[in-house]
Copies of this chain bind each other. A is one copy, B any other.
Amino acid sequence: MGRWQPNARGRLTRAAYELYGERGYEQTTVAEIAKRAGLTERTFFRHFADKREVLFAGSEDLQEALVGAVTGAHESVAPVDAVTTALEAAGAVLTDREFSRQRQRIIDANTELRERELIKLARLAAAVAGALRHRGVPDLTASLAAEVGMAVFKVAWQRWLDGTGAEDLRGCVREAVGELKGTTTRT
């Protein structure tokens, strides 16, 4: 990012979201995104591999944050708690609900993007399970804690966007974790 283009990435992201919302993801070209942002296509491709990448650019950061939090948890912490604590931390970072809602509307409207989103979640689960196994957690426990963690996050995320849960994502994650612990011990 050159000094002569302050926050080019942010401008490109905003322009892409606007256009995806206005005319649809499929109908939008990279040339149009660059033009709307007042930048060149070349600049676009310095920041994103393609127009889909604009919507998924945060995935790697999220994965790194989750894996880092799981890896860094004290060894006395139970696997599922290491995962849910990591998810709460991730929830605290994602604060712009309107932006997330806009993104979700774009994704919901396109089959390819919905598929990509599901794959992203499956990869996150695999990465978290790997981090747990690396801590010496047995395979079944690791896989289950990771997959259940993703289930909790998915529900929390949906409720945050719907406005049916707490005001912030972290609160929605906490509600879902509380419900999980209640639900599985109720009988």
List chain A positions with a Cβ less than 8 A from chain B: 78-81, 114-115, 118-119, 122, 139-141, 143-145, 147-148, 150-152, 154-155, 158-159, 164-165, 175-176, 179-181, 183-187
- Which residues of chain B come closer than 8 Å to A147, judged between CB atoms? 151-152, 154-155
Given A119-B114, A151-B150, verify A80-B143 contact (CB < 8 Å).
Answer: no
C-alpha gap A79/B141 in the complex (Å): 22
Number of copies: 2
Residues A185 and B181 in contact, CB atoms below 8 Å apart? yes
- Which residues of chain B come closer than 8 Å to A119, judged between CB atoms? 114-115, 118
Closest chain-B Cβ to A5's Cβ sits at a distance in Å of: 35
